[in-house]
Amino acid sequence: MKFLKKQTLSKYIPNDLSLEVNPSGRAQFGLTGGLMLPKGDDNARPVTSGVRQNTDANGTIRYNTDTESIEAYIADNWQVVTAPAATSVTLQTLGPGDAIETVFGPLSRVPSNANNIIVLVENVFQLPSTNFTLEQSVAGNLTGPNAPYADGFYLKFLSPVPFGKFVSIYFGFV
């Protein structure tokens, strides 16, 4: 009698480890490449109701070419499978304003551009380019009322921040 530890799925190459089923019934891949999922548009989804109903469709995964996303059939619904896009959203508070200063920083994180942060003065949303710019100070080259500024990235407002108002910056949006 032969003891079978693993069953390979290749009938031509008995020691092929690219896809095998272990003793607990779990399929494993011995590859370093990728796995190509079935793909198609919304209309090509497997039939989950009606005459040809798959009674155990929950857990089905596929790539949807209409939405360009991976989707899974979970609790009798197709749902997009997502992962966190950003690490985390963090807050940095600067200020308060003194009705003179226009430069605030240095920033604790460096955004790729001003559109990837949310800036508030007190509770008023600030628009990049319209209300502020993202600027870098190198060797004290950044100009402003309290220049010189230490090296780093700063918010430079086009008008002074009102007296007693704090600047809040939310990071983590790409």
pLDDT in tens, 4-42: 555 555 666 666 666 777 777 777 777 777 778 889 888
Preceding omega of 96 cis (within 30 degrees of 0): yes
C-alpha 27/C-alpha 44 separation (Å) is 25
Say if 1 falls within a structural domain.
no
CA 49 from chain centre, in angstroms, equals 34
Question: What whole-number distance in Å separates Cα of residue 41 and Cα of residue 97?
Answer: 53
Same-domain pairing of 161 and 108: yes
Same domain? For 106 and 69 the reply is no
pLDDT of residue 115: 92
Other C-beta atoms lying within 10 Å of the C-beta of residue 114:
16
Residues 159 and 97 in one domain: yes
Q: How confident is the model at residue 48 (pLDDT cuts 50, 70, 90)?
A: low
Domain that holds residue 67: 7-80
Domain endpoint, select from 31, 52, 80: 80
How far apart are the C-alpha atoms of 30 and 35, rounded to whole Å? Answer: 11
**Model confidence over 91-135: pLDDT tens digits?**
999 989 999 999 999 999 988 889 999 999 999 999 999 999 999
